[in-house]
Amino acid sequence: MTATDALSRLQGAGRHALELEAVSRYFGALVALADINFTLGAGERRAVLGSNGAGKTTLFNAISGDFPPTTGRVRLFGEDVTDLPVHERIRRGLRRTYQISLLFGGLRVIDSIYLACRGVSRRRFSLRRARRDDEAIHAAETLVGAVNLEAVQGDLVSTLSHGQQRQLEIALALAGAPRLALLDEPAAGLSPSERSDLVEILRSLPRHMSFIIIEHDMDVALRVADNVTMMHNGRIFKEGTPTEIEGDSEVQELYLGHGRG
């Protein structure tokens, strides 16, 4: 068992960013995820599509540990993290955004991003104020520019508009050089120009970085993703390249035909 584990870890290293093995998640009698097997290559970008209630967010929660799977295993970069708490998975290079913004209303924008940069480093318990030349400050200032929030970086998060809060969500997930990011409908509620900014940001990420994006907007999804996974009723229903998925008649019928909202 351990020998096989070590072998699979060796083989997995550098090849797979993420592996889900027979992952299920129940909420009482409700089966939100049913026996999901899923593999994401290192550096791969995947779009997850599916109507509301398909289990996409639950899939993210199972990977991040927010709501661990009821059964099944989760492997991050070859390491089994099924039994690790959320923050331990994050420290291994995982990040995520939330479909409904989860932010720090009483903090300033720049402080929030600064914390995101600090979260994966040591000195989380430092009782000293950061200095101007601190590398986490530089990283935070770069990120605040990348998501176009410079003008409001000193403002309290609670005073931001919805679009600005979505941008902040993305900045928090990109802080600290992640290796795999889970983006839960990052473009929801953004204006067309903000959407194209978002696409630009995602396309300019370092090539070794993987991400999974849940996105209803096909234009956004297909412009950033290498492959597409379709979900329906807690199951993976189809996987393929964007062209395969767009041309698939079953997909057309089930997803594109109706229930896009």
- In the region spanning residues 35 to 54, those forming contacts with ligand ADP, defined by CB under 6 A, are 50, 52-54
How many residues make contact with another protein (CB under 8 A)?
Answer: 63
Q: Are 189 and 100 in contact (CB under 8 A)?
A: no
Cα 218–Cα 222–Cα 226 angle in degrees, nearest 5: 145
Which residues neighbour 233 within 8 Å (Cβ) at sequence distance 6 or greater? 34, 54, 55
- In the region spanning residues 32 to 61, those forming contacts with another protein, defined by CB under 8 A, are none
Q: Which residue is associated with the tokens 């420290």?
A: 91
The residue type of 114 is Y
Site string for Mg ion, 54-73 (x = CB under 5 A): ---x----------------
Q: Which of 31, 34, 115, 146 binds another protein (CB under 8 A)?
A: 115
Tokens of 32: 């939100």
Query: At closest approach, how far in Å is the CB of 52 from Mg ion?
Result: 7
- Please report whether residue 81 would count as binding another protein according to CB under 8 A: no
Q: Which of 10, 30, 71, 91 binds another protein (CB under 8 A)?
A: 91
The stretch among 20-28, 80-88, 199-207, 231-239 that binds another protein (CB under 8 A) is 80-88
The stretch among 4-12, 55-63, 142-150, 238-246 that binds ligand ADP (CB under 6 A) is 55-63
Query: At closest approach, how far in Å is the CB of 140 from Mg ion?
Result: 28
Q: Which of 209, 187, 206, 183 is nearest to 196 (CA)?
A: 187
In DSSP terms, 38 is beta-bridged to 20
120 interface partner picked from ligand ADP, another protein, Mg ion, none, CB below 5 to 8 A per type: another protein
85 interface partner picked from Mg ion, ligand ADP, another protein, none, CB below 5 to 8 A per type: another protein
Q: Are 75 and 240 in contact (CB under 8 A)?
A: no
- Please report whether residue 252 would count as binding ligand ADP according to CB under 6 A: no
The residue type of 91 is R
- Please report whether residue 27 would count as binding ligand ADP according to CB under 6 A: yes
Element containing residue 73 per DSSP (H, E): strand 71-76
Q: Which CB sits closer to ligand ADP, 86 or 107? A: 86
Q: Which of 37, 71, 126, 142 binds another protein (CB under 8 A)?
A: 126
Count Cβ atoms below 10 Å from residue 249 Cβ, excluding itself: 7
- Please report whether residue 87 would count as binding another protein according to CB under 8 A: yes
Q: Which CB sits closer to ligand ADP, 39 or 99? A: 99
- Please report whether residue 68 would count as binding ligand ADP according to CB under 6 A: no
Task: Name the site residues for Mg ion (rule: CB under 5 A).
Answer: 57, 99
Task: Name the site residues for ligand ADP (rule: CB under 6 A).
Answer: 27, 30, 32, 50, 52-58
